[in-house]
Amino acid sequence: MTDLERAALPIAGANRGPTINRDAYAPAYLQLADALQAQISDGSLRPGDKLPSEAQLRRHYQLSQVTVRRAVNTLLQRGLVTTAQGRGTFVKSPDISDAVFQLRELKEYIVQGERTRVNLLEVRVLPADERVARKLCIEPGEWAIYLRRLLMDRDTPISYHREYLVYDPSQPIVEGELEVTALEGLFRGNGKAALQSGALTIECVTLREDEAQLLHVAPGSGAFLLEHVFRDSMDRPASWGWFLWRGDRIKFSATLGARRRVRPQAGGDEHE
């Protein structure tokens, strides 16, 4: 039995026991946070209920004020409670608008794995038209690099990427590198490109004939359209482009609220 599980046990008689194990690997504030979360999960504390005040928790668990606060803050960040100054801390009802979808799944396709290949379809240096110039904050007619790439999972096309880059004469283009580097720059942001910030939008579109053909799906299929603008350290747009992800290969997931069996989370306190 781990410390965490012990801490989560409802104590008969008294509603809670002194449960913090100072020898455990998990810090005290996490043990308390997880103990409280366990009470939320198992229904001892239900949505709308008021948590014990911080002073009560402090006394009960023999912790300092600050440590109790950290525990409460942890639950706050997990979206499980809300706090109201002068009133108390309350269990939050799961709210669909708290759902958060991350793009980790995408990264797995990008960070050059064994399966993934990048297929460079086109590289061109061209003068920016009105639209591109506006997005990249350059003058119409200035040079820009236009890329078209296909991301492949083995032999299956996954995503079709088009991108405009501000042309930097000091960094000559190496076609071979473009297949990989610039892409990794977006997803790893390391070194060279030194991207400073970015903005993304994601929406759902129907593929045009040519797009569908590239992605080996039926024309009219649904796809995620992920548009991105990345900015350099001077806060100037450096890249504007968009991915079309095959809808049948990408799926994002999220969870809300507190499920029953809380995973160890801080992990690795099974020893002893």
Q: Select from 10, 65, 95, 270 the one that contacts a second copy (CB under 8 A).
A: 95
Site for a second copy in 103-132 (CB under 8 A): 103-104, 106-107, 110
Per rule CB under 7 A, is residue 12 in the interface with DNA? no
- Measure Cα distances from 156 to 168, 188, 246 in Å: 33, 23, 10
Q: Select from 10, 44, 59, 64 the one that contacts DNA (CB under 7 A).
A: 64
Q: How far is CA 67 from the centre of its chain?
A: 28
Q: Which does 195 bind (CB under 5 to 8 A by kind): a second copy, DNA, none?
A: a second copy
Q: What whole-number distance in Å separates Cα of residue 93 and Cα of residue 79?
A: 9
Task: Choose between 26 and 38: whose C-beta lies nearer to DNA.
Answer: 26
Q: What whole-number distance in Å separates Cα of residue 106 and Cα of residue 3?
A: 36
Q: What whole-number distance in Å separates Cα of residue 174 and Cα of residue 160?
A: 21
Site for DNA in 199-218 (CB under 7 A): none
Q: Residue 184: what are its φ and ψ, rounded to 5°?
A: -65, -35
- Binding mask 69-108 toward DNA (x if CB under 7 A, else -) reads xx-x----------xxxxxxx-------------------
Instruction: For residue 72, give both structure tokens.
Output: 């409460």
Q: Are 57 and 32 in contact (CB under 8 A)?
A: yes
Q: What whole-number distance in Å separates Cα of residue 15 and Cα of residue 165?
A: 61
Instruction: For residue 77, give both structure tokens.
Output: 């960040």
Per rule CB under 8 A, is residue 200 in the interface with a second copy? yes
Residues at the site binding DNA, with contacts judged by CB under 7 A: 3-4, 7, 27-30, 51, 53-56, 62-67, 69-70, 72, 83-89
* Binding region for a second copy (CB under 8 A): 41, 43, 46-48, 66, 77, 93-104, 106-107, 110, 186-191, 194-207, 220-224, 228, 230-231, 233-235, 245, 247, 250-260
